[in-house]
Structure formats: structure tokens, C-alpha cells
């Protein structure tokens, strides 16, 4: 009995490699974020405890984290101007520049995530200028976000996402990396839009299609009852003399 062995052609091998690469990037975070996680896990740095206000301590921690990344990844970290909608840009060899939010937190409670620009970037097909000197304002972004969601102009580009690097204050070697599209549970909070995140519940990047991500966003925004401020303003607007 003769056996015929079929050899893979170069074109077939190339096609399989391309498909494999696409699937890997679809279900995994960019390599630059995974590298950051490895870098920070190996670093020894002291969590700031100098101030009674934990938010000030967190800001100090975040500055120290950025300095470490600038040292370990020369030429691949850009600090933006003040009050930008991301903390740093990280250069990824496959994805280009990525907007990244640095956080120092206990991971057990829900933390603020950012502003509406990150939602416009991650959830919709709107193109934002990552190098823009002045940050995008929430008022402008809210109009764009609503318009895009109503028209179902979603972000189907798997490489366009907003990323988080989270350092656990209790255990600084506990590093969490994730992205908007990789989150599992969003915590609603009318006073801290668009939503908050408990990082202990969002430790792993979980791929979902964009429709599922939009569904999670809308649920987080629509679920809470109107705050007293919303109700107050709505009632005041109805008063006439």
C-alpha cells in the first residue's frame, strides 16, 4: 500500500500563519501590555503612603510607574499634556501607539475609569487624534458618543482599544492589564461617568464582540435611577413664572 504525503505549499503556510496571527491578536492583549506587566512584576517600588488622601498617593505611585516604564522601554513611552484622556501612549510594534491608563489601587473597590473620550475611542468608529495637545472635552464627546451609538457606528477594529495597567497597592507585584473591550463587569455610578471598575472582578482580558461590549456599556449607563441632581434640574426646568 502506498501512502501519499501532501506537502503544504508556501502560500498555504503563509495563509495559516496570517490567520493564526489574527486570531491570537483577537483574543489576547497586545504584546507591549504583556511586556509592561512582566516589567512591573520584577520591579521593587514603594507604594506612597505619605498623604491622608489616597488619591494623592495614587498619583504619586502612577508617576513612579511611568518613570519605570520610560526607563525600561526607551522611545516607546510618551507622556501627554495635563488632564489628557489617557496617562501615557505606549508604542506597540504591531498595533502602533496605544492609549494607556495607569492606576494604583487596592483593586477590591470600584474605581473611576476615565472620561467619555475613552468610550468614543473604544466603542465607536470615531477617529481621535492621539497626539492632540488639548484633551477632548466631555461635553463634546458625549454628543459624539450618543450620535454614534444611535447610528450603530461601532468600532469593529480589534486593534483600536483603550488599555489599563493596574498596580495593587496591597501587593505591588500584583499587576493587572486589561482593556475596555476586555472588561467583564462594569459598575454603574451616575456621579462618576461613564462607569467604574472593580479590578478584582476584571483581572483577565475576555474577548467579546463589539455588540456585547456596547450592550454592557448601555446597561451600565441606563441601569441606575436618576440621581437627585438630575431629578432636581429636570424639575427646575419645568418651573415657569
CATH number assigned to the domain comprising residue 42 = 3.40.600
Q: Half-sphere exposure of residue 85, counting CA atoms within 13 Å on the CB side? A: 24
Residue 239 lies in a domain: no
Q: What is the pLDDT along the chain (241 residues), one digit of tens a residue?
A: 566 666 677 666 555 544 455 555 577 999 999 999 999 999 988 899 888 888 899 999 999 999 999 999 999 999 998 889 999 999 999 999 999 999 999 999 999 998 999 999 999 999 999 999 889 999 999 999 999 999 999 999 999 999 999 999 999 999 999 999 999 999 999 889 999 999 999 999 999 999 999 999 999 999 988 888 889 999 999 999 9
Residue 241 lies in a domain: no
Task: Give the number of domains in the chain.
Answer: 1
Residue 13 lies in a domain: no
Q: How far apart are CA 87 and CA 103, in angstroms?
A: 9
Residue 15 lies in a domain: no
Residue 18 lies in a domain: no
Q: Residue 42 is part of which domain span?
A: 30-224
Greatest extent of the chain over all pairs of C-alpha atoms, in Å: 100
Residue 1 lies in a domain: no
Residue 4 lies in a domain: no
Look up the pTM and report it. Answer: 0.88
Residue 212 lies in a domain: yes
What ranges in the chain are assigned the alpha helix state H? 10-27, 31-42, 54-72, 116-123, 138-150, 210-222, 228-237
CB of 223 closer than 8 Å to CB of 193: no
Q: For position 52, what pLDDT does the model report?
A: 82
Joined grid coordinates for residue 133: 495637545
CB of 35 closer than 8 Å to CB of 41: no
Amino acid at each position: 500500500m502506498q501512502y501519499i504525503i501532501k506537502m503544504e505549499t508556501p502560500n498555504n503556510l503563509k495563509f495559516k500563519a496570517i490567520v493564526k496571527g489574527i486570531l491570537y491578536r483577537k483574543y489576547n492583549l497586545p504584546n507591549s501590555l504583556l511586556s509592561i506587566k512582566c516589567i512591573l512584576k520584577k520591579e521593587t517600588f514603594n507604594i506612597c503612603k505619605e498623604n491622608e488622601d489616597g488619591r494623592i498617593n495614587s498619583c504619586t505611585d502612577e508617576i513612579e510607574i511611568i518613570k519605570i516604564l520610560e526607563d525600561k522601554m526607551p522611545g516607546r513611552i510618551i507622556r501627554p499634556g495635563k488632564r489628557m484622556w489617557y496617562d501615557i501612549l505606549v508604542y506597540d510594534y504591531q498595533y502602533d501607539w496605544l492609549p494607556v491608563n495607569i492606576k494604583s489601587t487596592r483593586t477590591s473597590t470600584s474605581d473611576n475609569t476615565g472620561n467619555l473620550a475613552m468610550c468614543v475611542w473604544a466603542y465607536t468608529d470615531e477617529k481621535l487624534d492621539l497626539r492632540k495637545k488639548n484633551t477632548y472635552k466631555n461635553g463634546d464627546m458625549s454628543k459624539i458618543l450618543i450620535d454614534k451609538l444611535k447610528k450603530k457606528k461601532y468600532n469593529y477594529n480589534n486593534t483600536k482599544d483603550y488599555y489599563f495597567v493596574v498596580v495593587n497597592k496591597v501587593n505591588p507585584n500584583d499587576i493587572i492589564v486589561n482593556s475596555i473591550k476586555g472588561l467583564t463587569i462594569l459598575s454603574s455610578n451616575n456621579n462618576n461617568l461613564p462607569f467604574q471598575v472593580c479590578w478584582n472582578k476584571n483581572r483577565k482580558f475576555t474577548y467579546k464582540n463589539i455588540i456585547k461590549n456596547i450592550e454592557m456599556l448601555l446597561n451600565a449607563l441606563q441601569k441606575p435611577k436618576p440621581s437627585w441632581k438630575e431629578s432636581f434640574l429636570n424639575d427646575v426646568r419645568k418651573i415657569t413664572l
